[in-house]
Structure 1
Amino acid sequence: MPSGLVALLDDVAGITKLAAASLDDIGAAAGKAGSKAMGVVIDDTAVTPRYVVGLSPERELPIIFKIAMGSLRNKLFILLPAALLLSAFAPWAITPLLMLGGAFLCFEGAEKVLEALGVGGHAEAEEAPMGAAQLEQSKVSGAIRTDLILSAEIMAIALADVAEESILTQGIILAVVGIGITIGVYGVVGLIVKMDDIGLHLAQRKAAATRALGRGLVKGMPVLMRFLSIVGTAAMIWVGGGILVHGLNVLGWHAPEAIIHHASEAVAHGGGGLLGWLVTATLSGVLGLIVGGVIAFVVHQIHKLRHRH
């Protein structure tokens, strides 16, 4: 009996070590897959605060919570099953779909650049006045629709990075990535939208240093929001361009990725890894801006033709 008990305990210990190793592998894979989607995550973080503009401050956090729950539903109940079905039955479609999503990101980024330059942009439709509840619901619905597109990119990027794993492991990793990124993004968004309130609270304290910090936060928030908007637009363009470059390489056209890789390596040897990354991001962004600009031009021409008829 004692020897049998010892053997059983050894088996349990072995199974525990194996499970722990598997969890470590899943955690590492989830971290790696999630890091590949950081550009889209930055854009998601930059875009979402806009949806609480014009609403009462006490409703800001409840609205962010609603959007976060919608984002989780998007990732876990729509995109995760779709990604696993693609991986199981049509893995060949992952790269083309990812490239379509990358092209859409380039288009959206180019649209924002054109709007900033005063060229084209989406026409603003006149809307009937809405009550507070209707306005809140409209903004939440719009944010969740936008999140669906960005989340699809996040899940597709993560899926492409774990395509060699088993379906079960893929599902666990994608779920971990989806939940982790949602908590991270909307936690940061909640902090951003309440930062001015925190600043006002600190500005009313007795200590001079605390009051100065509070006034700095209040004055700095508009600058931060503009910065996030710029970073979000840039992220859309360079991530979209990078997805297109990688997809072309997978489909057999190696020249764009090879050119960018060699340019990045040449700069990295002289100036370090950060400069190499900047070259990669810049060249990917240039390609993304060109592709997005062409798509935007075509979309605008179609829009004009539809209005004529």
Structure 2
Amino acid sequence: MSGLIALLDDVAAIAKVAASSVDDVIGQATKASAKAAGAVIDDAAVTPKYVHGFEAKRELPIIWRITKGSLRNKLLILLPVGLALSAFAPWAIPPLLMLGGAYLCFEGAEKIAHALGISEGHTDHPAKGKVIEDPAHLEEEKAQGAIKTDFILSAEIMTIALSNIPNLGFWMEAATLAMVAIIITVAVYGSVALIVKMDDIGLSMANAGRLGVTRAIGRGLVKGMPGFLKALTIVGTAAMLWVGGSIIVHGLEVMGFAAPAQIIHDAAYAVAHAVDRWQGAVEWTVTAALDGVLGLALGVVLIPIGEKIITPIWRAVTAKMP
């Protein structure tokens, strides 16, 4: 009997350690996921365009297909690469992170420049004017295009997450990074599914709602979705510039160039202590704004490089991908 009690004690102790490890993984994954806000919001803002023009019944299957492709990108390719870098070449993570930050700055600046009519954006894509009559082929092409685009954003998300995971050991790091991949993928594509079906939900409420308030809410959803998508794009662009700029500032500081970080810190501190209340919030806001301004400036510089050199090379490479 005493042996059985001892065994149960051991099982309970193991379960407690396992539960604590799961809590640690979820907690670290949540923190790391929050650091990737810019890329996550942009992913959610960009993806709905890939189901535009399809029948309503095909929207969710396409999103599910993109979701599976995104998980493959993160779990089967980027996770092993990230763990290998962490184990054998940790020195490569800050430069790669800065490269990803520069990409976010470029994308954010390009969106603004395109909105102002001073950049081609992605309107010069060689396949833009191509007409595909077979719906199945069009769906295949759209899904594959979305998965390729997701790979870039997923690489940035996983790199940001990896840089924010403390040294917990190989298996804890792997579990945390896998949890990040799942949390972000579910959050992004779950939100996208809800966004693209919101029109249908609103239309159903407007036509079949038994109460006047239900029908009014339905009409409001239908009318409000274009504005919501536009607002999401604006927020995503701002977040990209903020996160990209902060990554560059932090990366320069790690590499020994602390002047930009010090200037931003001093400016934010001075503004925050010039007011009587909410000093912490003011300091954070000023820091984020200055990071965003720096990100925008860098992005503007990178636009001609990205559009004239990097984008043609990327299109040539991805054109050969299955």
Query: How far is the alpha carbon of 1:27 from its aligned partner?
Result: 1.5
- In structure 2, give the amino acid aligned to 1:82: V
Cα distance, 1:263–1:221 mapped onto 2, change above 3 Å: same
Conserved 8 A contact 1:75-1:155: yes
After alignment, is 250-259 or 293-302 more displaced? Answer: 293-302
Please give the secondary structure, in 2, of the residue aligned with 1:145.
helix
Matches within 5 A, 1:82-161: 82-122=81-121, 123-125=124-126, 126-130=128-132, 131-161=134-164
What TM-score, normalized to structure 2? Answer: 0.89
Question: In structure 1, what is the Cα distance between the partners aligned to 2:176 and 2:307?
Answer: 39
Q: Deviation of residue 229 (structure 1)?
A: 1.2
**Residues matched between the structures, number:** 303
Structure 2 residue identity aligned to 1:247: G
Distance 1:153 1:86 in 2: 14
Separation in 1, partners of 2:36, 2:306: 27
- How far is 1:63 from its partner? 0.8
Aligned counterparts of 2:308 and 2:72: Cα–Cα separation in 1: 36
> Does residue 182 in structure 1 map to residue 185 in structure 2?
yes
Contact 2:106 2:306 in 1 (8 A): no
Are 1:278 and 2:288 counterparts?
Answer: no
Q: CA deviation at 1:301?
A: 5.8
User: Identity percentage over the alignment?
Assistant: 58
The superposition leaves residues 45-73 of structure 1 with CA deviations (integer Å, 9 ceiling, x where unpaired) of 11111111122221111111111111000
Question: 1:159 is matched by which residue type in structure 2?
Answer: L
Instruction: For residue 292 of structure 1, report the CA deviation from its aligned partner.
Output: 0.9
Answer with 151-160 or 130-139: which moved more.
130-139
Residue 50 of structure 2: aligned partner: 51
The 3 A distance-change label for structure 1 pair 263 and 166 is same
The 1-side partners of 2:306 and 2:78 are apart by 27
* SS in structure 1 at match of 2:220: helix
User: Partners in 1 of 2:240 and 2:75 — Cα distance?
Assistant: 23
Larger displacement relative to structure 2 (80-89 or 123-132): 123-132
Aligned residue runs from structure 1 range 231-242, under 5 A: 231-242=235-246
Partner letter of residue 300 of structure 2?
G
Determine helix, strand or coil for the equivalent of 1:21.
Answer: helix
For structure 1, which runs of at least 5 residues remain unmatched after alignment? none
Instruction: Give the whole-Å Cα distance in 2 for the aligned partners of 1:110 and 1:216.
Output: 32
Deviates most, 91-100 or 5-14: 5-14
Give the letter aligned to residue 128 of structure 1.
K
Larger mean CA deviation between 30-39 and 219-228 belongs to 30-39
Whole-Å separation in 2 of the counterparts to 1:11 and 1:248: 49
What is the root-mean-square deviation in Å for CA atoms of aligned residues? Answer: 1.9
Contact (CA 8 Å) 2:198, 2:225: kept in 1 or not? Answer: yes
Indicate the residue corresponding to 1:257 in structure 2.
Answer: 261
Alignment counterpart, residue 223 of structure 1, candidates 222, 227, 246: 227
